[in-house]
Amino acid sequence: MCGRILLADRDNDALTCLVNLLEGMGFETAAAHSREELLQTVPHFQPNVVIVDCAIPGVDRHGMARVLRARNPGHTMLLIALTGWGQPQQGDALLAAGYDVHLVKPVGLDQLRFILSMIDA
């Protein structure tokens, strides 16, 4: 596998774990711990995939997908919302807000591998 994945999570342990996992799978990664870091990194890193923990302070979970796409015009990204909320209506709202996938923590390795196998790196 190859491709660039930008991960944003306020939990440093979770972020480090996902970075190590994805780099072990052959992806190039960048990490952000805040909304500001996320928005600054997107246009420079040009990720194929952005995984956003929707609990990051300052992240409007329903507006962030639009903001991320606007920061990287003309570049196709798979946007994944990562949350602790498993109710169907919350996932539906995130998909309606522009995310491509909603994952609930903890994310299974097989589930993540399957979703990432669909990107065009």
User: For 4-116, which CATH class?
Assistant: alpha beta
Residue 42: its pLDDT value, please? 92
pLDDT band, very low/low/confident/very high, at 106 (cuts 50, 70, 90): confident
Kindly state the percentage of the chain with pLDDT values over 90: 51
pLDDT over 70 (residue 71): yes
pLDDT band, very low/low/confident/very high, at 120 (cuts 50, 70, 90): low
* pLDDT tens per residue across span 25-65: 999 999 999 999 999 999 899 999 999 998 888 877 778 89
Residue type, 74: G
Nearest alpha-carbon partner for 11 in 113, 106, 112, 108: 106
SS3 content of the chain, % helix, strand, coil (to 5): 40, 20, 40
> How far apart are alpha carbons 10 and 15 in whole angstroms?
8
Burial (CB count <10 Å: 0-12, 13-18, 19+), residue 81: buried
